[in-house]
Chain A
């Protein structure tokens, strides 16, 4: 086979992998009788990388040539790396053939800036158009909307893509200026605003006219790089919340900075802040699905998320006055706020309790994480903790309780059985 194509794919997939957004959800696109593919709205991970990330889309750069020099990016102009560029047809063929074999849900196409912004954006839009119109491809397409591209090109991209994203990358403009001299927030917000208007406009049109064309039906998303610059979690989450509220973004992705760069403008971290990234996703989840407000998760007194415990548990520990929650009488919103109870088990609690009182055993079987929830709920067994409600003790129990128990179990192997203290 074409050796060169293998090599290009290796380079341009490698260069795209730090872009975390992989979701292929949020858009429904029906197939036609002679077409290929659809978008079911659910998204499927066809495989997982060896670091456990979902592989759903063929995620590649059109090229890693770039005229810009952003300090946090591998493709930056001043970095000495191998460069490559796909042709339009190569991207189309890869997408079609991978999709036919059920390897992928679709294409996620981003790019370094080749020559100038419009030159690059035109190619991204052309690939999407070709897939849709010449090849009747109805799988998922995610395109980058490159800040600074003309409205017409972004519009064109929106007509064929399921989702567009404009990456803010750095969570404050001050920091952005430092690490990416050619960039600023105004240029990034410009296409974001444009997309918000268009997406809303087309949606309204489709409500009255079913046959009206779609425009980026999966909405828009963005990515923030975490840990390359000094913003606090409070700043990051406040920004994310604004993006959800004002820009109507579907998703904000947080990407723990991978120390790929030896550029002096970004700190020399030796580890990707994985825990922090994970905590931010949990907090983001609480904002979007659990009815939490930013101030309830982080505030001036606690500008950083607790690294030891997840933000929901942290909230419960900081607000003991709201607990315990009686699972047999409390409203759904409050059941949802109990650590160890997720959306699914909260739903089961509500639908089961009309058949009779819920006991500890029932909750366990419904999938409630009892070793967490037990400190915060009342059941028909009235077994709400006997410790008295002391957040410090609970924190200690949750963090170290399991460890102690393991040790006791080990000892048990050698000693005569005796009741566990935990």
Chain B
């Protein structure tokens, strides 16, 4: 039987809770997207329940520590088609082997979990590197991003620690939401159409333009043409990120 949920992590954990509670045989969990594949399978939607989700989370931590529940959350943010299957399998392994199961690289689904984790880690690292703040006339430092995975929830702390004394907004253009920091704290936000348009029009300070020019000058100056190796360059800075990199546009 297939349990579906609302696409949130808590929703997924609730489905896990129900699946185990009802001892559903051949349990499968799917997001609440358009029906995929199996038209005849029996489906049942699970309402998200914070309490149940919390209990699963606690259980995961008891079994494998904070590290483990984090790893599963990160996997969840990967938006991969098979993520429910991978996480469910990992939970089963945790129940039989405890936290060490995550080190069993012989197990193809555990391996997959680790690979996804690695990809997520790489994307988080890329965002730490490729975010480019632009100073707007309201004194807000804004950065637009289009990460490969939904990593915005994972990058806030890094920037809060670095930039506690300036207001900033990191906006995921593809997923239509952003992380806003003002000196009180961080919160997720969605821009209205008109705010979005404003962001794209005449919104930068003059100082901002100057420093963008200086940064471009710097980038050009440190190049060593005798050693040029664009293959390596593109490997490190894949083209899909160029759009928001001041030095590349």
**Chain A contact residues, CB within 8 Å of chain B:** 1-2, 5-6, 9-11, 13-14, 16-18, 31-38, 40, 44-55, 58-59, 94, 97-98, 100-103, 258, 272, 274, 348, 351-352, 355-356, 358, 362, 365-366
> Top 10 nearest A-B pairs by Cβ distance?
A52-B232, A51-B227, A351-B103, A13-B221, A1-B210, A48-B236, A352-B105, A14-B221, A355-B104, A17-B222
Cβ of B125 under 8 Å from chain A: yes
Tell me if B229 and A50 are in contact (CB < 8 A): yes
| Residues in chain B near residue A58, CB distance under 8 A | 218
Contact with A along B212-249 (1 / 0, CB 8 A): 01110111111111111110110111000000011110
CA–CA, A2 and B214, complex, Å: 10
CA–CA, A9 and B107, complex, Å: 53
New contact pairs (8) apart from A17-B221, A51-B224, A351-B105, CB-CB < 8 Å: A1-B213, A9-B218, A34-B165, A37-B163, A48-B237, A97-B207, A101-B134, A272-B226
Closest chain B residue to A11 by CB distance? B221
| Residues in chain A near residue B132, CB distance under 8 A | 101-103
CA–CA, A52 and B235, complex, Å: 9
Tell me if A51 and B228 are in contact (CB < 8 A): yes
A102: contacting residue among B97, B107, B131, B223, CB under 8 A: B131
| Residues in chain A near residue B222, CB distance under 8 A | 13-14, 16-17, 49, 53, 55, 59
CA–CA, A98 and B159, complex, Å: 15
Cβ of B108 under 8 Å from chain A: yes
Enumerate 25 A-B pairs (CB-CB under 8 Å) in ascending A order: A1-B209, A10-B220, A10-B221, A13-B222, A17-B221, A31-B164, A36-B163, A37-B162, A44-B129, A46-B129, A46-B130, A49-B222, A49-B233, A50-B230, A51-B228, A100-B141, A101-B135, A258-B224, A274-B227, A348-B105, A351-B103, A358-B106, A365-B108, A365-B111, A366-B105
CA–CA, A51 and B217, complex, Å: 16
Cβ of B45 under 8 Å from chain A: no
CA–CA, A96 and B134, complex, Å: 14
Tell me if B214 and A94 are in contact (CB < 8 A): yes
Tell me if A51 and B233 are in contact (CB < 8 A): yes
CB distance from B163 to the nearest CB of A (A): 7
A47: contacting residue among B103, B128, B235, B247, CB under 8 A: B247
| Residues in chain B near residue A55, CB distance under 8 A | 219, 222
Tell me if B106 and A355 are in contact (CB < 8 A): yes
Tell me if A97 and B247 are in contact (CB < 8 A): no
Cβ of B133 under 8 Å from chain A: yes
| Residues in chain A near residue B106, CB distance under 8 A | 352, 355-356, 358, 362
CA–CA, A217 and B236, complex, Å: 29
CB distance from A355 to the nearest CB of B (A): 5
Tell me if A352 and B103 are in contact (CB < 8 A): yes
Q: What is the number of contacts between chain A and chain B, taking CB atoms within 8 Å?
A: 157
CA–CA, A365 and B236, complex, Å: 23
CB distance from A120 to the nearest CB of B (A): 21
CB distance from B226 to the nearest CB of A (A): 7
Cβ of B211 under 8 Å from chain A: yes
Tell me if B129 and A50 are in contact (CB < 8 A): no
Q: A1-B210, A101-B133, A352-B104 are in contact. Are A50 and B228 (CB under 8 A)?
A: yes
Cβ of B143 under 8 Å from chain A: yes
**For A59, A102, A258, which residue has the most chain B Cβ atoms within 10 angstroms?**
A102
CB distance from A75 to the nearest CB of B (A): 14
CA–CA, A274 and B232, complex, Å: 14
Contact with A along B118-162 (1 / 0, CB 8 A): 000000010011111111000001010000000000000011011
| Residues in chain B near residue A6, CB distance under 8 A | 213-214, 217
Cβ of B190 under 8 Å from chain A: no
Q: A6-B217, A50-B223, A59-B222 are in contact. Are A44 and B125 (CB under 8 A)?
A: yes
CA–CA, A44 and B245, complex, Å: 15
Q: A101-B134, A362-B106 are in contact. Are A5 and B229 (CB under 8 A)?
A: no
Closest chain A residue to B111 by CB distance? A365
Tell me if A45 and B223 are in contact (CB < 8 A): no
CA–CA, A291 and B53, complex, Å: 47
CB distance from B17 to the nearest CB of A (A): 28
| Residues in chain A near residue B128, CB distance under 8 A | 44
Closest chain A residue to B108 by CB distance? A365
Cβ of B166 under 8 Å from chain A: yes
Tell me if A38 and B220 are in contact (CB < 8 A): no
CA–CA, A395 and B162, complex, Å: 49
CB distance from A40 to the nearest CB of B (A): 8
Q: A49-B223, A52-B236, A101-B211 are in contact. Are A10 and B217 (CB under 8 A)?
A: yes
CA–CA, A92 and B128, complex, Å: 23
CB distance from A319 to the nearest CB of B (A): 28
Q: A31-B161, A356-B106, A358-B106 are in contact. Are A272 and B214 (CB under 8 A)?
A: no
| Residues in chain A near residue B207, CB distance under 8 A | 97
Tell me if B224 and A47 are in contact (CB < 8 A): no
A48: contacting residue among B141, B164, B233, CB under 8 A: B233
| Residues in chain B near residue A59, CB distance under 8 A | 222
| Residues in chain B near residue A17, CB distance under 8 A | 221-224
CB distance from B209 to the nearest CB of A (A): 8
Closest chain B residue to A58 by CB distance? B218
Contact with A along B47-75 (1 / 0, CB 8 A): 00000000000000000000000000000
Closest chain A residue to B237 by CB distance? A48
Tell me if A47 and B229 are in contact (CB < 8 A): no
| Residues in chain B near residue A272, CB distance under 8 A | 226-227
| Residues in chain A near residue B246, CB distance under 8 A | 101, 103
Tell me if A49 and B163 are in contact (CB < 8 A): no
CA–CA, A376 and B236, complex, Å: 31
CA–CA, A51 and B111, complex, Å: 34
CA–CA, A32 and B163, complex, Å: 10
| Residues in chain A near residue B227, CB distance under 8 A | 51-52, 258, 272, 274
Tell me if A47 and B226 are in contact (CB < 8 A): no
| Residues in chain B near residue A101, CB distance under 8 A | 132-135, 141, 211, 215, 246
CB distance from A73 to the nearest CB of B (A): 15
